[in-house]
Amino acid sequence: MLNGEPWACCLALRKYSNTLKTSVYAEIANAIINLGVENKFQMLTNPMEIRLKGTKSVIKFANLNTAEDYGKVKSIKWPGGYCRLIWFEEADQFQSKHDVDQVLLSLYRGGDIFETIFTYNTPFSPSHWLNVGWNNEREMLTDADSGEVRKKREKVYFKHVNLYDIPRGIVPEQVYDMAEAMREENLQEWKHVIMRRSG
C-alpha cells in the first residue's frame, strides 16, 4: 500500500506500550526484511517509526491505555500525508467499540480513502463488543471453498482463521498434537483456543 501512494501513512495501535516494539513493530520490520526490501525503508526505534525512503509515507506506532494516550493519538501529525491505514492489533484488548470509534473519528481526516484492520483472537465472551459486531454483520456471503466471508456491503471484509487453516509446516507438528489432545480433554477450550470461537 505505502509503495503505491507516496503520501499514505499507517498507524499501528496496541493497548499497552510495552508490547509495541516486540509485536507490531517487529512484525512489520520482519515482513520488510523477508521481502528483501529493507533498503527502501528507514527503521527507527526513537521515535518508533518505519519510513519509506523518498516519500511522505511513514508507519507510526502508538498505544491506547489511558486518556492521555488517546489524546496523543488524536494529535499525531502526518506532514505531507495522511493516515490511510489504521491497524488495531490484539483488538480484543480494547475495552469498547466506543473507545475505538473515538480514535477513528479523529484519524479519518486529510484523505479520501481509509482502511481499518482489526486483528485479534476471538474473545471468549459472546457479549464482547467484537463478537457482537461480528454477529451484527451476519448478512454475509461465505465462499464455500476458502471460508472467506464478505459482507454484502463491499467495504466490510472478514477473515476468520483457526489452526487448521494454516498450511502444514508453518506451525510445528507439536502444536497440532497439543490441539488434538485438547479436543479430547476439553472440547470447550479447544473450540475457543484452537477453532477461535466465542464461548
Q: Which pLDDT belongs to residue 177?
A: 94
Q: Is the pLDDT of residue 143 over 70?
A: no
Half-sphere exposure of 77 (CA within 13 A, CB side): 2
Across 6-10, 50-54, 71-75, 121-125, which has the greatest mean pLDDT? 50-54
Contacts of 122 (CB under 8 A, 6+ apart): 92, 130, 131, 160, 192, 196, 197, 198
Q: Which pLDDT belongs to residue 1?
A: 47
Q: Which pLDDT belongs to residue 174?
A: 94
Q: Which pLDDT belongs to residue 62?
A: 93
Dist. CA 60–CA 44, nearest whole Å: 10
DSSP string across 23-45 = IIIHHHHHHHHHTT-GGGEEEEE
C-alpha cell at 137: 454483520
Query: Sheet holding 41-45: strands in order across?
Result: 41-45, 48-52, 58-63, 8-14, 82-89, 115-119
Per-residue pLDDT of 164-184, as tens digits, reads 998 888 889 999 999 999 999
Q: Which pLDDT belongs to residue 146?
A: 64
Per-residue pLDDT of 60-89, as tens digits, reads 999 988 888 888 898 898 988 899 999 999
More confident site: 190 or 131:
190
Q: Which pLDDT belongs to residue 2?
A: 52
> What is the mean pLDDT of the segment spanning 9-16?
93
The CATH number for 8-120, chosen from 3.40.605.10, 3.30.420.10, 3.40.50.300, 3.40.250.10, is 3.40.50.300
What one-letter code names the amino acid at 182?
M
Per-residue pLDDT of 46-66, as tens digits, reads 999 999 999 999 999 999 888
